[in-house]
Structure formats: structure tokens, C-alpha cells
């Protein structure tokens, strides 16, 4: 099996040592640094490919300064500890969303 087909999570752009702030520097993990989506199918495919063990627990539309974004809240349960964690992904949907 080739490693070329294994999806990878977005890379950290500029990690910070200030608590959880480093997460905001990962593409898609803040509304200021969203992933760009070209369709709803693109959003769901990205989540399936990059976060195959997470489940979507919430989705909401956000309008900010005349632009539109989708926020997905994803939940993951650690297989060893059983700890449940949640994180958000933000998509810029202006390429396809017309209110």
C-alpha cells in the first residue's frame, strides 16, 4: 500500500507556546484561517478524509463582515483513555454559498 493515499491533517503554520492558542494557527481551526470549500460535498469529503474517526456533532453558518463560513464541531473518543474531545473546523464557503 502506498503512503500517497493516506490523508494527513493540516500542518501547523506558526505554533505558539501560549496554551491552546497553537490550534488557531492550524488551517481550518479558526475563522481567521479557514479552509476554502468549493461545495458542501467538498466540506464533508475533507472531514471524512482527514478526520475519519471524528463525528460531526454540530454545523452552523456564520456571517462575518459580509462573508460566509461553515463551522463544524467534531467529536473524537480516544480509543485508549475513552476521553472525548471536541474541536471546530471552519470553511470559507463564499465560492458556492449565495444567501
pLDDT of residue 44 exceeding 70, the answer is yes
pLDDT number for residue 46: 95
Q: How far is CA 77 from CA 24, 42, 53, 81, 90, in A?
A: 21, 24, 8, 8, 21
Per-residue confidence at 31, pLDDT binned at 50, 70, 90? very high
Give the whole-angstrom CA distance, residue 63 versus residue 48.
25
Per-residue confidence at 23, pLDDT binned at 50, 70, 90? low
pLDDT in tens, 47-96: 999 999 999 999 999 999 999 999 999 999 988 899 999 999 999 999 99
Amino acid at each position: 500500500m502506498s503512503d500517497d493515499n493516506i490523508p494527513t491533517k493540516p500542518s501547523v503554520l506558526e505554533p505558539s507556546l501560549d496554551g491552546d492558542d497553537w490550534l488557531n494557527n492550524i488551517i481550518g481551526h479558526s475563522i481567521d484561517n479557514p479552509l476554502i470549500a468549493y461545495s458542501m460535498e467538498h466540506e464533508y469529503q475533507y472531514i471524512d478524509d482527514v478526520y475519519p474517526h471524528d463525528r460531526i456533532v454540530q454545523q452552523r453558518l456564520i456571517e462575518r463582515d459580509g462573508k460566509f463560513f461553515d463551522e463544524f464541531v467534531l467529536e473524537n473518543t480516544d480509543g485508549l483513555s475513552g476521553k472525548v474531545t471536541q474541536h471546530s473546523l471552519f470553511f470559507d464557503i463564499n465560492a458556492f454559498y449565495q444567501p
